[in-house]
Structure 1
Amino acid sequence: MHRAVTFREAAAADLSVMEALLIAAELSLEGVQAHLADFVLAIQGNEVVGVAGLERYGPHALLRSVAVRADHQGRGLGQSLTRATEAGLETLTLLTTTAANFFPKLGFRPVTRDALPAALQASSQLRGICSASATVMHLTLRHGRPE
């Protein structure tokens, strides 16, 4: 029988396991430590089985990292992690080179970079660390729920 998965905020002690998950998913580690307070972990038993992180800019955020351990993929954890980051936000934006077919299931729609909230322009991910060929996707929220 599988143990329930719970979610909690990341702490400095989680950094190495978070980085391992992100590396396995071929995601950037740039800025992870600086935004650690805005990362959520999926925990099963005593193990971290998934991670999702934000870069917050007031009520707007960039969903910068969603990774689920290979043996836990296909169980909806990526969706649950994404939903766990939405509280208190008006918009959630992401850049992806590999998951453009996954995020529309959660209400995200492709947009151009110039259509994004001005507050997000401070993100180094949007300013060029993330590939210029990445698909930009955007979700408008009201009180942490998709519109």
Structure 2
Amino acid sequence: MRHAVTFREAAAAELPILEALLIAAELSLEGVHAHLADFVLAVQGDDVLGVAGLEQYGPHGLLRSVAVRADHQGFGLGLALTREMIERATAGELETLTLLTTTAAGFFPKLGFRPVTRDALPAALQASSQLQGGCPSSAVVLQLALPQRGPS
């Protein structure tokens, strides 16, 4: 019997698995160790199938490192991971979620992300290693405005 896919925070002992997924997807390892607590794993039983990271800088988030194991690609797991991270960012009351991509610029607009220029990004995001050179300057920058909760 196959287990359902669930999402959970990455543990320090899983850093080698997480890094292997990112290397296989040709994604940057820059800043992963420093932000390990911000990474979520997609797991099925004891198997890690995918990963995504959410770095927070004040009221702004950076979605990074969405990667799915090769033998599980094409089944919607990348979409599910991205939706999970959007939900977490919204629950964390972030205002925006930004990402940089060199290979998936056509994927994220389906979820509401829109192209922006690097100079239009909030200053707080400039602290990210991804914007300081971890991701190439040729990367497309996409941003999603997150729904805000009104006063209770």
Q: Distance in 1 between matches of 2:72 and 2:58?
A: 32
How far apart are 1:127 and its partner, in Å? 2.3
Query: What's the counterpart of residue 40 of structure 2?
Result: 40
- TM-score, normalization by structure 1: 0.92
Query: What's the counterpart of residue 79 of structure 2?
Result: 79
- TM-score, normalization by structure 2: 0.89
Query: What's the counterpart of residue 63 of structure 2?
Result: 63
**Structure 1 residue 142 corresponds to structure 2 residue 117:** no
Post-superposition CA distance 1:31-73 (Å, at most 9, x none): 1010001000000111000000122102211112100011111
Counterpart of 1:106, as a letter, is L
Alignment of 1:96-111 (within 5 A): 96-111=101-116
The count of aligned residue pairs is: 144
SS at match of 1:26: coil
Q: Distance in 1 between matches of 2:63 and 2:56?
A: 9
Q: Distance in 2 between matches of 1:57 and 1:103?
A: 21
Tell me the C-alpha RMSD between the 2 structures: 1.4
Post-superposition CA distance 1:56-111 (Å, at most 9, x none): 10221111210001111111111111122232122110111100011111111111
4+ long deviations beyond 2 Å: none
Q: Distance in 1 between matches of 2:74 and 2:138?
A: 26
Q: Which consecutive unaligned segments of at least 5 residues does structure 1 have? A: none
SS at match of 1:142: coil
Q: Which consecutive unaligned segments of at least 5 residues does structure 2 have? A: none
SS at match of 1:33: coil
**Structure 1 residue 133 corresponds to structure 2 residue 133:** no
Q: Distance in 2 between matches of 1:3 and 1:90?
A: 34
Query: What's the counterpart of residue 123 of structure 1?
Result: 128
Query: What's the counterpart of residue 27 of structure 1?
Result: 27
